[in-house]
Structure 1
Amino acid sequence: MAPSQPITLHIHPPFEYLYSLFALGTKEHYYTMIRECDLEPSRQIVTALDEMSAGLSVYLERELEYFFDLSGLGYILYKYILSHPELTEVTSLLNVLQRSDATALAFHIVSSVGKNKMPQAHTKQWDKLQHSAAEMLQLVNGVEFQDPVRRERVIESLRNPEETKQRFCWLLTQVYTRCYSPLESRILQWISDEQGKYQSMLDENPSAFVEQYMNLEASRQPDLHIHLSFFKYVSWHHYSLYDKEDSPDWFILGAYSDQLFRKNIFADKYSSFFKALSDPNRIEILKLLSKRPWFGQELAEQLQITPATVSYHMSFLQKIGAVTFQRADNRSYYSLNGAKLIKPLEEFSHYFQ
């Protein structure tokens, strides 16, 4: 694959702040995720999260859990980041969010959790929906949720959009001021220290870089932006505003992702391979992909898990090369790479023969 679009490696402070909130809100799960990738959390990441945690009051901890644990809705902040690419400071982004309409925040939540039930973008029905919390609530009532806590939070946000917005803005401002801002320059410097090796790999062979680190087989977008992230740690996540065709794709790439591709001895190699296949959700993902390509939100709704959980499982399947990633029809699809899935099984069998 020869990328036809410019690829830019960034350090984007608002995205990094978003991922610090994910890490802080799911702290023990976050560490578990790193360990399941056969890595240990670095001293820097543990220190940073401990220092951030020390700045939390009891009430802030509860609000952080509400918006940024595994059932949380805080991921929706990415919509504001992508909608305002000119804002590269966290405080500027928070000012935009504070001035935004509460119903718009509710609509972003609904369009993310119920994407398959949404009317076609920019139609009269779509325009009507985005201005009516009552119609949003009616749409959400037809969405199946595996997580009842998540469903409860979505419905609460639609019944109380202004209160939800004020709580969300207050949380983001307080955590930034009290917990993140004192560490921000240090965190951005840590990312900068890792950036050189990734930039060298990208400059040397862009096609190999995006194929290895993002399993990106093809992209028709005019721009592709990569934020190298300290708090994402390993693997990648993709973001796009699907209702805006001129919006660039963003990939969040963990700064320690190169460790996923270190040379393994036989036992380590196959241990990683079978670990990737050890989860029922990953098996179901592979079964679905064997029929046709799926996009991330569609997989989340089919499996009744969150988009972040889909990304989590994909990090394992990415590591063994079992999935590829392709941009088409203004959506980003995962596809099965059957050859890379079958080959290790054949090699493992032949080894014992």
Structure 2
Amino acid sequence: MKPTLNEQLRQNIRFTYNEALELIVAMGMAACGEQMYAMAQDYKIEMDPMADSFYEDTKARLSPHTFRELQFFFGHNFLHKTLDFGFYVSICSNPEPQSADDWIRSLEAVPAEWMLTEMVFGVYHDKLEELLQGRDWEASKGNLSLLAALVRDTPPHQEVIHTQEPLLECLAHPEECKLRYMQLLSQFYKDVFIRWKEPLKERSEQASAHYETLFAAKPEQFIREIHKNEPEIFISFPAAFHVSQASQVGNHFLNFTTAAGNVGWVIFGIHNERVFGPAADREQTELFLKAFSDKRRLDFVLLLKERPHYGQEIASALGITPAAVNYHSNFLFFLDLISVKREDHRMYYHLNVERLRELLALTAKVMLD
């Protein structure tokens, strides 16, 4: 008899703590601190006290030079792995968790050319065809002079455009680049991480036990609603979930085909339930219903459904003042229902129709289960 999807998920997914993975996530968090705080604001949550303390302690303990190196390799975009991509590959290609110290030592044997190639992939994975100009990626791996020429001619995605020059610098000096990142990893581990590794592990493992219980009860629902992914991907790619205190919020699925078979790791934010879980769904529903407790906000949305309007048009149509337009729009901005774009020297309000559909569906789900 064929096992059910829930049975297959229970068989293929495990929860385990990977210290090496937490090290590089923590380095990314420290390098992208301002991005992390902005992301927390977007999700309407506060960074927890441990994350605050870790970030401040990192800045205090690292020398200015080491902190600049941290930002050079890790500080480009916390959600888009770039120059740090090779570090993730080297850890997540191994199905078993590693200590941070063991992983740093193992990296000594990794050729600089391999790491630089993975850096290129990290920066250009969403523009790889444009970068290669018809060439085969497998055949281009390790050819740093070719990759440097291609990188020079191809701007990365706009979100990580500023990684182009640092990447070219690394490609021009591969052995020096390796010395730099090995020194950075060792220094960060010695000066910062070793002081925090036990508290980070303890907090992560506490959360991991909670999430593992939720997963075991309803695997498919957990993957869809809190991991925000399709359960079927874990049928062909067994995975280990690393619940990360440093990540705070996130669902990064890294999967690789190795000589030993398929390997997958999920970096799962410790506060994911607050953002993606049933409590978050209920909070969003409450805010959505509250937004339309005033008839004028419903009229506001129905007006924008016809076409974008600028502020004075909305005020005239609804019979309210421009100040009242600002007041009512705040409720809709908070739910990402509207956005503002400048056109013809005016600021036009636009309705996010897909977001409206999502909130209507979410409201039905919460209220009707």
Match of 2:56 in 1: 50
Report the Cα offset of residue 83 of structure 1: 2.5
* TM-score normalised over the length of structure 2: 0.70
Report the Cα offset of residue 70 of structure 1: 1.9
**Amino acid of the structure 2 residue aligned with 1:134:** S
**Amino acid of the structure 2 residue aligned with 1:117:** L
Calculate the aligned-residue CA RMSD, in Å.
3.1
Q: 1:125 to 1:210 in 2, by over 3 A?
A: closer
SS of the residue 2:142 aligns to: coil
Larger gyration radius, structure 1 or structure 2:
2
Q: 1:87 to 1:10 in 2, by over 3 A?
A: closer
One of 103, 116, 119 as aligned partner of 1:93: 103
* TM-score normalised over the length of structure 1: 0.72
State the identity as a percent: 20
Given the alignment of the two structures, is residue 180 of structure 1 paired with residue 193 of structure 2, yes or no? yes
Whole-angstrom distance in 2 between the partners of 1:162 and 1:76: 15
Whole-angstrom distance in 1 between the partners of 2:338 and 2:119: 32
**Amino acid of the structure 1 residue aligned with 2:108:** Q
Higher RCO (CA < 8 A, seq sep 6+): 1
Given the alignment of the two structures, is residue 253 of structure 1 paired with residue 268 of structure 2, yes or no? yes
Task: Give runs of aligned pairs for residues 260-299 of structure 1, distance below 5 A.
Answer: 260=275, 261=277, 262=279, 263-264=282-283, 266-267=286-287, 275-276=335-336
Q: 1:196 to 1:272 in 2, by over 3 A?
A: farther
SS of the residue 2:253 aligns to: strand
**Amino acid of the structure 2 residue aligned with 1:74:** D
Whole-angstrom distance in 2 between the partners of 1:178 and 1:347: 46
Moved more, 80-89 or 97-106: 80-89
Match of 2:93 in 1: 83
**Amino acid of the structure 1 residue aligned with 2:225:** Q
**Amino acid of the structure 1 residue aligned with 2:244:** S
For residues 56-77 of structure 1, what are the alpha-carbon distances to aligned partners after superposition, in whole Å with 9 as ceiling and x for unaligned?
A: 0111111111111126612431
For residues 191-218 of structure 1, what are the alpha-carbon distances to aligned partners after superposition, in whole Å with 9 as ceiling and x for unaligned?
A: 1222222111011011111111222222
SS of the residue 1:216 aligns to: coil
Report the Cα offset of residue 242 of structure 1: 6.1
Given the alignment of the two structures, is residue 15 of structure 1 paired with residue 21 of structure 2, yes or no? yes
Aligned 8 A contact 1:114 1:143 in 2: no
Whole-angstrom distance in 2 between the partners of 1:197 and 1:188: 14
Whole-angstrom distance in 2 between the partners of 1:89 and 1:159: 32
Moved more, 145-154 or 52-61: 145-154
Whole-angstrom distance in 2 between the partners of 1:249 and 1:276: 33
Match of 2:140 in 1: 129
Unaligned runs of 5+ in 2: 292-330, 341-352, 364-369
Whole-angstrom distance in 1 between the partners of 2:100 and 2:362: 49
Given the alignment of the two structures, is residue 230 of structure 1 paired with residue 234 of structure 2, yes or no? no
Whole-angstrom distance in 1 between the partners of 2:170 and 2:251: 28
Whole-angstrom distance in 2 between the partners of 1:96 and 1:347: 47
Report the Cα offset of residue 142 of structure 1: 4.0
Q: 1:109 to 1:346 in 2, by over 3 A?
A: closer
Report the Cα offset of residue 113 of structure 1: 2.5
**Amino acid of the structure 2 residue aligned with 1:342:** R
Aligned 8 A contact 1:87 1:93 in 2: no
Given the alignment of the two structures, is residue 240 of structure 1 paired with residue 255 of structure 2, yes or no? yes
SS of the residue 1:73 aligns to: coil
**Amino acid of the structure 2 residue aligned with 1:132:** N
Match of 1:211 in 2: 224
Match of 1:29 in 2: 35
Report the Cα offset of residue 127 of structure 1: 5.0
Given the alignment of the two structures, is residue 2 of structure 1 paired with residue 13 of structure 2, yes or no? no
Aligned 8 A contact 2:94 2:263 in 1: no
Whole-angstrom distance in 1 between the partners of 2:13 and 2:361: 36
SS of the residue 1:248 aligns to: strand
Q: 1:211 to 1:125 in 2, by over 3 A?
A: closer
Whole-angstrom distance in 1 between the partners of 2:90 and 2:207: 27
